[in-house]
Structure 1
Amino acid sequence: MRPRLRLVAGPDGVRAEGDEEVRLGHVLRGDPLADGPPPEGVFAAWSWDGERLRARNDRYGMHPLYYRADGARLALSPDPLALLGPGESAALDHDALAVFVRLGFFLGEDTPFAAVRALPPAATLTWSRAGLRLRSAAPAPAGPAAMSRAEAVDGFVDLFRAAVARRLPHRPYALPLSGGRDSRHILLELCRQGAAPRLCVSGAKFPPDPGADAEVAAALAARLGLAHRTLPRPRSQFRAELAANPAQGMGTLDGAWTLPLQAWLRRHGGLSYDGLGGGELAQNPSIDLIRRTPYDPAALPRLADRLLTAGRTGAHVEHLLGPRTARLWSRERARDRLVTELARHAPAALPLGSFFFHNRTRRSIALAPFALGGDRLVVHTPYLDHALVDHLSSVPSRHLLDGTLHDEALRRAYPAHAHLGFAAAVPQRHGAVLVAHRLAYLVRLLTHAACAEPHWWRGGDRVLPRLLAAGRGPGAARRVSRLQPLALYLLQLESLASGRTS
């Protein structure tokens, strides 16, 4: 049961229901509720003293915390679904969903529900009978600093070393290790500082992923003389997403593949590390899109259209929307909401990099370690060290657009391992195995709907019939594959909005 607090002011005072004192995540030192700038770490906390509520979160708002305020009532929880109490509105936020169904993540403080908001970064929320006050001390997007390429790389290396030194383990631990740059950098630096893990553990993603993550991770662990274990992926992608969607507060379409990894980490130790933010800040996975889509503050609607087209479902989503949702979640509505968010990042050194970090990283990727991971696991995130983020956010775009900054930092810091490639270089696997995997997802979705959720077939938006209709015509296989996870999400969301429990 996730922590939750409800406060209701009445003529006889304030009635409190739930957890009056909560600390989530971790801080490196200090009190998360104290005045002043947020301390290092990823956290959310609140305290109710009988008259006044005070809640705060980390500098980047990475730890999920949501609130709803309605006149004389206020509720808080790291789970937005916990704020949908009996008799309380679960009306949907159509502007937010217009973006989500195309990009796969929410913007700013949006959630699927109009009355529920995410706490902004570096926020201080206070509430009493006099009302609600909310302010954010988040730093403005950093402009480009005057630095050479060598200074950008050297600063990255040195500041990352300092970030890890501030987060050295004080007990044996297991390290999640992929075949990418972010976790490799963490592992190599921990080993350099004499704090190697007792075990490296890798998860497995769903097809068409080729499985290279675990192979590359195992090769690196072997070079370092460390034990390595690969966990099997969830047997059913459908079942994993059926569980992961509500467990992550309906905030993302990602993260389901990490369920076995998160469960293993909870069982086998209270300490771990995560590369959250490394990709978006140092070597953005969307760098090809960023290069092809220059940020022009005078043409943000055009930029928004390009991002929507390149999004998770792209133009395919139109096949899933009926007349009502096509109007409520129109592309025009999505573009308007996206333009507003894009404009906030105009001063940044790399505006689209800043946009992805503060939206996709914060509102989607962070949910796996901090919503699925559970409160008993301390997860260190060295890439979110304040000084390191300040540095990487101010690196001039010309040093980032070639997409090799992190590679160069790794070569400079750990030349002995420079020749070992990365999993991303291995092509995805298509063919009969992928076809069978996608077909199994569809069969499980339809079987679950028939046996456990018959109202899914009768829903006003007719998502399932539209998904089946999308399976006809040229490009049907790819289209249905893109739409299946979103179809499941929308069916679950419809149940939540109508008050049904799945």
Structure 2
Amino acid sequence: MTVCGIAGWVDWDRDLRRGGEVVWRMTRTLAPRGPDAQEVWLSPRAALGHSRLAVIDIEGGRQPMVRTHRGGGEVAIVFSGEIYNFRELRAELAGHGWSFTTRSDTEVLLTAYLQWGTELGSRLIGMFAFAIWDYRERRLVLARDRFGIKPLYYARLSEGNGVIFGSEPKTLLAHPGMPAELDAEGLAELMAVPRARTPGHGTFRGMREVRPGCVVVADERGLREAPYWRLEARENVRDFAEGAVHIRGLLDDIVRHEVVADVPVGSLLSGGIDSSAVTALAARELTGDLVAFSVNPPSSGAPGSDAWRPSTDEPFAALVAAELGIKHVTTAVTVDHLVDHRDIGLTARDLPGWGDLDTTMYLLFQSVKDHCTVALSGEAADEMFGGYLWQNDPGYVAHDSFPWMYGRRQPEVLLREDIRRAIEPRRYEADRYHEALGEVPRLLGDSPERRRQREVFHLGVTRWLPGLLDRQDRLSTALGLEVRVPFADHRLAEYLFNVPAALKAHAATPKALLREACTNLLPAEIVNRPKSAYPASRNDHYVDRMRDLVLGLLADTTAPVFELLDRARVQAAVTSDLDALPGPITAVTPAISLSYLLQLNGWLERYRVRVRL
């Protein structure tokens, strides 16, 4: 097992044995993701690079890895992620006559391709992004896990007959044939739907992401993408007690597989039901070796004064750790930390980020990395079990666009009018929304209410969740840390997609199904604790300092961001009503919106982005 970075270049017309320096340059951009080793494999038509963080079979799991077809012909793989059912697959493949020389899931994955070809995706359980060059078939195969936990970008080069790919945008941008350009559609992604990521969109002109749950095949005939997994609408699950038992059984199995590692394992612990359940299940498997980690950013106001955070995490996280008898480490974050590290999100994401939400997560992961190489997260539980306001409040649910956008302005309101006309942000949002609705599976006989519940769930796991998973991946791998996400398991999603909202919130209790499944795991104070959002700082001193930085940006007559934004509109927003300032996410604080403006300008400067509308 290995969480790493991958890179590569395939060209059907040129000899890439002379392209090694380019692929080395691409691979070196991924050094933070894979600090343990970097290697490049060269062949006449393909060059593959790998930057490795070793987690299991530290000696035997080196990449790029090569095997041969039974009939001859090399097949090479670079892989990032974890195949949690690799032991079961290994046994199945052995039954087909295959032998193995390592304990790694990489070898199992490559052998699975030799046995099943491009159909292998549906057999995999895990988080993964991989690229396979098949010399005999003269094709490149790219694949990504069902929820897009692990990133994978690709692009067809404008000159020649080549395709490049990599784990991050910066990897592709290191190739001389991939300029950092932004077209109208890319700008609309940033400004019109910044919190509703369009699957497959890479923001930069010509750059694509492999869509979650899909395989891309590239050969001399072109590029073809096909899904290997989709949610399916089935008859509703109606029994609450039976559902809770089933959920508990799934979670037991998922966590049992996800704690497997040859390195220390920790858990992210906020004291909410999601992270506490994962921590408790992991502690059972690891028999006291687990360490739990929390973060405490600077706050303002009395506890409970923020509707999004009715209670602070620290007392609840400490209670869970004490009950489980495990070590608990809290990362205290100051205003100076937030200001000094304000560009961490931009550096990790290669795009403007989410301000102090990124910074606090990075600093938390820095503490985790001091103790562990692997950590478990409670991310994705809200999307699965209905923990957000936008999944339950009638106003949000009935909104005629992405429900989390209800009552909120997007950054596009700050655009210059000529830019607005060029990208048509409202039309772009509407098109992306109706495109997303077109993907939702239907069940004959569903009531309009039940149909909308399915839509909201599907929107959540395909448009909302990817942004959270991407943030977590980028900020953790920037430190060489692997974060695993037990709730982002397709078996949970397949079950819960078909559970009515009233059952998930049984007896008007949000996430009642999850709470019931975990009743005997945790203290009642944790099981019954209301949701408290990930901590975003509204500290007055921090907001003032970020505001001063934006005022300095406004005074800079050469700032490239004002080739896109209306300087007067930004000035008015920053000097009049900060709480009304549009930002990239729901429930923004003024500081996050201010940070977005700074990072948008920094992105244009640092990446030398050419805007071509």
Q: Which segment drifts farther, 127-136 or 333-342?
A: 127-136
Find the counterpart in structure 2 of residue 298 from structure 1: none
Q: Where does 1:293-442 land on structure 2 (aligned, <5 Å)?
A: 293-294=396-397, 303-304=400-401, 307-310=404-407, 314-315=408-409, 317-327=411-421, 328-345=423-440, 347=442, 350-362=454-466, 364-374=467-477, 376-400=480-504, 404=509, 406-415=511-520, 417-420=523-526, 422=529, 424=531, 434-442=539-547
2:99 matched to which residue of 1? none
- Return the match for 2:252 from 138, 161, 172: 161
Provide the residue aligned with 2:574 in structure 1.
471
Trace 1:154-303 onto structure 2 (pairs within 5 A).
154-169=245-260, 172-193=264-285, 195-205=287-297, 207=299, 212-233=312-333, 235-250=336-351, 252-253=353-354, 255-287=358-390, 291-294=394-397, 303=400
- Residues 458 and 238 (structure 1), Cα distance of their counterparts in 2 relative to 1, 3 Å cut: same
| Residue 170 (structure 2) pairs with residue 76 (structure 1) | no
Displacement of 1:155 after TM fit? 1.6
Partner residue of 1:443?
Answer: 548
Q: Tell me if 1:26 matches 2:82.
A: yes
Code of the aligned partner of 2:518: A
Which residue matches 1:104? 194
Q: Which moved more, 1:117-126 or 1:408-417?
A: 408-417
**TM-score, length-normalised on structure 1?**
0.84
The Cα shift of 1:103 comes to: 4.6
- Determine the structure 2 residue equivalent to 1:299: none
AA partner of residue 544 (structure 2):
L
Change beyond 3 A, Cα 1:111–1:344: same
Task: Provide Cα deviations, 1:293-348, integer angstroms capped at 9, x if missing partner.
Answer: 446xxxxxx611765444xxx22635521113322152222222222113322537
- What corresponds to 1:46 in structure 2? 131
Q: 1:103 to 1:252 in 2, by over 3 A?
A: farther
**C-alpha distance in structure 1 between counterparts of 2:424 and 2:343, whole Å:** 23
TM-score, with length taken from structure 2: 0.70
Distance 1:145 1:93 in 2: 43
Question: Deviation per CA, 1:366-420, whole angstroms, max 9, x where unpaired?
Answer: 1233222128534332213332222122212332356736345334533461233
Decide whether aligned partners of structure 1 residues 428 and 41 sit closer, same or farther in structure 2, where only a CA change above 3 A counts: closer
SS in 2 for 1:231: strand
Q: 1:461 to 1:160 in 2, by over 3 A?
A: same
Asked whether the equivalents of residues 399 and 405 of structure 1 are also in contact (C-alpha less than 8 Å), the reply is no
Q: 3-state SS of the aligned residue for 2:563?
A: coil
Q: Give the drift of 1:141.
A: 4.2
Shift in Å at residue 130 of structure 1? 4.0
2:474 partner letter:
A
Of the candidates 114, 128, 145, which is equivalent to residue 219 of structure 2? 128
Q: Distance in 1 between matches of 2:544 and 2:260?
A: 44
Correspondence 1:488 to 2:612: no
Tell me by how many angstroms 1:44 deviates: 0.8
- Measured in 1, the distance between the counterparts of 2:343 and 2:79 equals 28
Instruction: Report which structure shows greater RCO (CA 8 Å, sep ≥6).
Output: 1
> Relative to structure 1, is the Cα distance of residues 159 and 122 closer, same or farther in structure 2, using a 3 angstrom cutoff?
same
The answer to which of 242-251 and 441-450 deviates more is 441-450
Q: Tell me which structure has the larger Cα radius of gyration.
A: 2
What letter is aligned with 2:419? T
The answer as to 2:180 corresponding to 1:90 is yes
* 2:9 maps to which of 6, 20, 24: 6
CA distance in 1, matches of 2:561, 2:490: 50
Alignment CA distance shift 1:232-1:252 (3 Å): same
Query: Which sections of structure 1, spanning at least 5 residues, go unmatched?
Result: 296-301
Using the TM superposition, name which of 107-116 and 97-106 deviates more: 97-106
Q: Secondary structure at the match of 1:394?
A: coil
Residues 277 and 307 (structure 1 numbering): CA distance in 2 closer, same or farther, change over 3 Å?
Answer: closer
Q: Compare 195-204 and 399-408 and name the one that shifted more.
A: 399-408
Partner of residue 75, structure 2: none
Q: Which amino acid is the alignment partner of residue 233 of structure 1?
A: V
Give the 3 Å change call, closer, same or farther, for CA 87–345 of structure 1 in structure 2.
Answer: same
Q: Does 2:559 match 1:456?
A: yes
**SS of the counterpart of 2:595?**
helix
Q: Aligned letter for 2:572?
A: A
Amino acid at match of 2:489: D
Bigger shift: 48-57 or 213-222? 48-57
Contact 1:291 1:401 (8 Å CA) reproduced: no
How far apart are the structure 2 equivalents of 1:307 and 1:197?
A: 39
1:195 alignment partner AA? T
Letter in 2 for 1:150: A
Shifted more, 273-282 versus 192-201: the winner is 192-201
Q: Shift of the alpha carbon at 1:350?
A: 2.5
How far apart are residue 359 of structure 1 and its match?
Answer: 1.7
Question: Between the two proteins, what is the percent identity of the paired residues?
Answer: 19
- From the superposition, tell whether residues 267 and 127 of structure 1 become closer, same or farther in structure 2 (CA, over 3 Å): farther
Give the alignment's Cα RMSD to 1 decimal: 3.5
SS at match of 1:382: coil
Contact 1:48 1:54 in 2 (8 A): yes
Alpha-carbon spacing, 1:80–1:455, altered in 2? closer, same or farther (3 Å) = same
**Residues 96 and 338 from structure 1, CA distance in 2 versus in 1: closer, same or farther, beyond 3 angstroms?**
farther
Is this contact kept in 2: 1:111–1:117, CA < 8 A?
yes
Whether the aligned pair in 1 keeps the contact of 2:561 and 2:601 (CA below 8 Å) is no
Compare 477-486 and 380-389 and name the one that shifted more.
Answer: 477-486
Deviation at 1:178, TM superposition (A): 0.9
Q: Is the 8 A contact 1:55 1:124 kept in 2?
A: yes
Residue from 208, 225, 236 that aligns with 1:117: 208
Q: Distance in 1 between matches of 2:352 and 2:143?
A: 20
CA distance in 2, matches of 1:148, 1:464: 56
Residues 344, 65 of structure 1: alpha-carbon distance in 2 compared, 3 angstrom cutoff: same
